[in-house]
């Protein structure tokens, strides 16, 4: 395997111990020529000799082979980014083959396995067999939950499973996985923060409360966005919710803090207004969407601001990958345009010159081809 570095490890360890090739050959019962070939990378020892060689060198077999079954966070980021970029350059099947080769190599590196599940979720629409890819996501998530022993990874895997089930058209499985009702929030963040304060870890306590504050704020935005989609018949409720959320966006500078969640809000607000025949309000929301799209800084990187000043540190410490865009830049740009072009709810707007000009302006700015 390309990740093995047996010849290098073997030669270095032999020299460290100051033993000759003849001595090793005599110990394991092979010729000196065979040992010489091992060091040159021309051949490998029989698998039955590996335990004996590892014992001789006083190292593990994995170390002897130069094989590292676990990846660092930085390595996971690099591999994920490389594979994501390939999706804009190669056919899905080709990238899938690369993903599976990595998985066969690092199938016990559970943070990596979970990120490959995430990668599949982000790009499965490009596959000719979306169902099989979603089923593969479920397999990977199940492996992480069953074998990792990491509560954080298991919780993340559960959410990915739920998303995959929804895409497979299996809402019953989602309810079986997550429950049918909202769970009571016990405020464990505050208890953890208080415990750190009692131990004198004031900075850690502040970080926990600030991140809890941020996450609850984002959950409020997400919940309000879903609420307007469920209240299509209730015009007053929709107007009030959208007005409140726009004020929230302005107050906390959410366009810069988490532009993706705000984009989804503008997009769904435009969808609801257009469905109700309120075309001017729909166009107003789309204008907010386009304006924000043009303010996105590439390459995308999630970070805090002057108010949530501990957010960037938390993101980096939790997972370097969390701060990066989940998909390659070109795919993100295409989706920003195609999302509003392909939405059937906006068909009634497509003959309006203001809509065409707005979409064309965004497409030209992002250098994306679009047919109106």
CATH number of the domain that 50 lies in?
Answer: 1.10.260.40
128 & 29 share domain = no
153 & 86 share domain = yes
Q: Which structure tokens are listed for 346?
A: 């906006």
Q: Confirm whether 39 is domain-assigned.
A: yes
Q: Which structure tokens are listed for 371?
A: 């047919």
Domain around 233: 201-366
360 & 229 share domain = yes
CATH of the domain at 154: 1.25.40
Q: Confirm whether 184 is domain-assigned.
A: no
Model pLDDT for residues 127-162, shown as the tens digit of each residue:
999 999 999 999 999 999 999 999 989 999 999 999
Partner residues linked to 301 by β-bridges: 324
Model pLDDT for residues 165-218, shown as the tens digit of each residue:
999 999 999 999 999 998 777 789 999 999 999 999 999 999 999 999 999 999
pLDDT of residue 263: 97
Q: Confirm whether 371 is domain-assigned.
A: no
60 & 109 share domain = no
228 & 282 share domain = yes
Q: Confirm whether 194 is domain-assigned.
A: no
Q: What is the mean pLDDT of the chain?
A: 92
Residue 324 has pLDDT above 70, yes or no: no
316 & 246 share domain = yes
Q: Confirm whether 191 is domain-assigned.
A: no
User: 203 phi and psi, to 5 degrees?
Assistant: -65, -40
Of 20, 37, 65, which residue sits at a domain end?
65
Q: Confirm whether 319 is domain-assigned.
A: yes
Q: Confirm whether 372 is domain-assigned.
A: no
307 & 323 share domain = yes
Of 20, 41, 65, which residue sits at a domain end?
65
pLDDT of residue 322: 58
Determine what percent of the chain is predicted with pLDDT higher than 90: 74
Of 43, 65, 87, which residue sits at a domain end?
65
Q: Confirm whether 16 is domain-assigned.
A: yes
318 & 246 share domain = yes
332 & 223 share domain = yes
Model pLDDT for residues 234-289, shown as the tens digit of each residue:
999 999 999 999 999 999 999 999 999 999 999 999 999 999 999 999 999 999 99
163 & 226 share domain = no
49 & 115 share domain = no
Q: Which structure tokens are listed for 296?
A: 């996105």
Count the domains in the chain. 3
154 & 13 share domain = no
Q: What's this model's pTM, rounded to 2 decimal places?
A: 0.78
């Amino acid at each position: 395997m390309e990740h093995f570095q047996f010849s290098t490890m073997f030669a270095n360890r032999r020299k460290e111990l100051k033993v000759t090739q003849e001595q090793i050959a005599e110990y394991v019962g092979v010729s000196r020529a065979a040992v010489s070939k091992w060091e040159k990378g021309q051949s490998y020892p029989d698998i039955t000799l590996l335990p004996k060689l590892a014992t001789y060198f006083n190292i593990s077999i994995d170390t002897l082979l130069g094989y590292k079954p676990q990846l660092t966070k930085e390595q996971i980021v690099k591999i994920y980014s490389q594979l994501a970029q390939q999706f804009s350059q190669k056919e899905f099947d080709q990238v899938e083959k690369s993903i599976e080769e990595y998985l066969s190599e690092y199938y016990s590196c559970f943070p990596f396995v979970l990120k490959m599940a995430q990668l599949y979720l982000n790009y499965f629409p490009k596959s000719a067999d979306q169902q099989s890819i979603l089923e593969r996501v479920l397999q990977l998530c199940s492996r992480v939950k069953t074998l990792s022993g990491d509560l954080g990874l298991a919780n993340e895997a559960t959410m990915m499973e739920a998303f995959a089930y929804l895409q497979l058209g299996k809402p019953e499985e989602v309810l079986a996985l997550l429950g049918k009702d909202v769970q009571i929030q016990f405020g464990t963040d505050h208890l953890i923060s208080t415990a750190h304060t009692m131990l004198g870890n004031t900075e850690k306590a502040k970080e926990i409360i600030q991140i809890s504050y941020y996450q609850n704020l984002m959950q409020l935005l997400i919940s309000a966005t879903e609420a307007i989609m469920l209240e299509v018949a209730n015009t007053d409720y929709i107007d009030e919710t959208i007005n409140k959320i726009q004020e929230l966006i302005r107050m906390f500078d959410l366009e810069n803090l988490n532009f993706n969640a705000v984009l989804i809000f503008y997009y769904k607000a435009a969808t609801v207004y257009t469905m109700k025949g309120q075309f001017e309000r729909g166009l107003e929301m789309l204008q907010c969407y386009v304006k924000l799209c043009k303010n996105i800084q590439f390459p995308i990187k999630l970070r805090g601001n002057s108010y949530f000043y501990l957010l960037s540190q938390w993101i980096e410490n939790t997972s370097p990958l969390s701060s990066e865009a989940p998909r390659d830049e070109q795919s993100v740009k295409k989706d920003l345009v195609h999302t509003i072009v392909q939405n059937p709810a906006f068909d009634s707007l497509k003959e309006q010159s203001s809509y065409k000009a707005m979409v064309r302006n965004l497409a030209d700015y992002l250098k994306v081809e679009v047919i109106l």
